[in-house]
């Protein structure tokens, strides 16, 4: 059993990326490189798998661990969306809205 555990933990050096939602009120996100921006209605995070936009109401950062790449957000979650090359126009619009 321990042999499986050892080989499984060393299979990749890339950080994991997980999004865990509890009751639509709490998000735990791993693999976060950077928090680009946030307010009480929207968070924009750079993760190891691309930019992640989180929309909701009364959003607050509950926990931030920069070294481990972990962010916890509480509030009412409406939407989670990854912004990548396939959604280039949408991402541009989102960024231009942020930096008006």
**Is the pLDDT confidence value at 4 over 80?**
no
Longest dimension (CA), the chain: 55
The arrangement of secondary structure in 11-98, i.e. its CATH architecture, is Sandwich (2.60)
Of 80 and 92, more confident:
80
The C-alpha atoms of residue 66 and residue 6 are separated, in whole angstroms, by 26
Q: How confident is the model over 10-53, as pLDDT tens digits? A: 445 557 999 999 999 999 999 999 999 999 999 999 999 999 99
Burial of 1-23, coded b for 16+ CB within 10 Å and e otherwise, reads: eeeeeeeeeeeeeeeebebeeee
Q: Where are the domains of the chain?
A: 11-98
To which residue do tokens 């499986």 refer? Answer: 4
| DSSP letter, residue 72 | E
């Amino acid at each position: 059993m321990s042999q499986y555990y050892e080989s499984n933990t060393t299979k990749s050096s890339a950080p994991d990326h997980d999004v865990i939602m509890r009751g639509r009120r709490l998000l735990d996100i791993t693999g976060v490189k950077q928090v680009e921006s946030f307010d009480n209605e929207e968070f924009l995070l750079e993760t190891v798998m691309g930019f992640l936009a989180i929309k909701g109401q009364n959003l607050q950062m509950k926990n931030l661990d920069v070294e481990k790449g972990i962010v916890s957000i509480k509030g009412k979650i409406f939407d989670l969306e990854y912004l990548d090359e396939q959604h280039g126009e949408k991402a541009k619009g989102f960024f231009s809205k942020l930096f008006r």
